[in-house]
Every structure is written in structure tokens, then in C-alpha cells.
Amino acid sequence: MKKRVPNFSFKSYFPIFTFLVVAFLFSFSSFYSPKWNYDWRGIRKQVKDSILKFDYYGSISWDSTNQFGDRLQSYFTHRWILDNADPHELYHLLDYPDGTVKAIAYEGLMYNSSIKKYPLLKKVLNDTLSFVSYRTGCIGSGTMLSNYVISFVTNIDERAPTKINAPIIDLTKKEKEEILKLLDQRISREKYYKEEFYKTIR
């Protein structure tokens, strides 16, 4: 009698194959980050390396040392980027998929006297789903990108504490009133924007 040979057809394994593909794609999507596809063209290697290092630290530090007197590398990396990244690189980084990195780019551009600030301020106010993490001493917090740039970097909003050596922002009275009105509108909806932001990272 002829021995029967098992039929290992692809169709019999198709459900298992499909399950494994779906499981892989689900797992990949859970860990995927838009940063993987960021276009670094036009940004020098040393600037790119510093941005990636700063992104790893995850927050802006306003102090050079912590409460134990240890040097905070995030502070010095932040200062190095501001001192060495050129305007083209900073403009490019306004599209980086992280609010804290964007904040440094906006900060650097605000200190450039040859750049018109009004269009930049309008741009940051339209970026409602970017948030900034910052730290002073051992206390960490966060805020909307637009609020950080306007209230923490510049002296446009006189209701905020005055910054020493803040960039000079040349705005007309009408432009300033418009910017502050838009900022108040964004802040009033911050909870909603946070909820929408969290949906993008789940």
C-alpha cells in the first residue's frame, strides 16, 4: 500500500501566517516613532548628534547643575545648539516631531536680529499639538510650545515674569495685541490640545 504524504499546502497555513503578520504590524506600530523618518538633509552631523542627545534628555534645563552640584548635560547641549546651529538648520528643526526640540529652534531664531518675528510667532501659535518639558532645579513641568516661546523666551507678554537678556521682538502694537489674544485662546483650550496630543502617541 502506498504511504500517504501529508499535504502541506500554503492555504492550510494562511490563517497562521496572517495572524503573525498582523501581530508583527501591531507590535511595530506600538513602538514606531515619526522621528525615525525625520529628514536630516541640510543639518550638519555635529548639530544632528547634539539634537539627538538633547532629545534623549527629554527636557529643557534652566540650571547648569542639579541640587547636588552635578553638571546637567542637557543645559550645556541646549547652549551648544543655540550657539552653533545656523538659521537654516533651526528653521528645518521647526518640523522636528518633538516639542522640546522645536522650542530650542524657535528660541535660536528669536535671537536672530535678521529674522522677522511676527510670522514665526504666528507659526508657533498654529502648532497646537506640541508641548515642551522643562526643569528648574529638581522640579519638572510642561507647557504648550506657543506659551513657552512667547512667555518663557520673550518679553512680549508683560503679564509673565521679565526675562533678562531676552531677544528683541519688534512688533507693531496691533501685531502684539493679536499675538497675545491668540495665545490666550490657545491657553484656554490647553486641556483639549493635551488630550488630542496624547491620542497621537498612544
What secondary structure letter does DSSP report for 2? Answer: P
* Surface-to-core class of residue 10, CB atoms within 10 Å of its CB (0-12 exposed, 13-18 middle, 19+ buried): exposed
Question: CA angle, 150 as apex, 95 and 196 as ends, to 5°?
Answer: 55
User: Nearest-CA neighbor of 85 among 44, 116, 49, 55?
Assistant: 44
pLDDT value, residue 21: 40
**Three-state DSSP string of 97-113:** CCHHHHHHHHHHHHCCC
What Rg value do the Cα atoms of the chain yield, rounded? 23
Q: For each of the chain's 202 residues, which pLDDT tens digit applies?
A: 555 555 555 555 445 544 444 443 344 344 456 677 899 999 999 999 999 999 998 888 877 666 555 567 888 999 999 999 999 999 999 999 999 999 999 999 999 999 999 999 999 999 999 999 987 766 778 999 999 999 999 999 999 989 889 999 999 999 999 999 999 999 999 999 999 988 887 6
Angle at 188 between CA 187 and CA 192, to 5 degrees: 90
Q: Give the pLDDT confidence score for residue 81 in this predicted structure.
A: 96
CA angle 69, 74, 79 (to 5 degrees): 105
The ranges assigned to domains in the chain are 39-201
- What pLDDT is recorded for position 83? 96
- Residue 17's pLDDT is 43
Point out which residues pair with 22 in neighbouring strands: none
Q: What is the pTM of this model?
A: 0.80
Do residues 130 and 102 lie in contact, with contact meaning Cβ atoms separated by under 8 Å?
Answer: yes
Q: What is the pLDDT of residue 135?
A: 78
Q: State how far the Cα of 112 lies from the Cα of 106, in Å rounded to an integer.
A: 10
pLDDT given at position 97: 94
CA 86/CA 123 separation, integer angstroms: 19
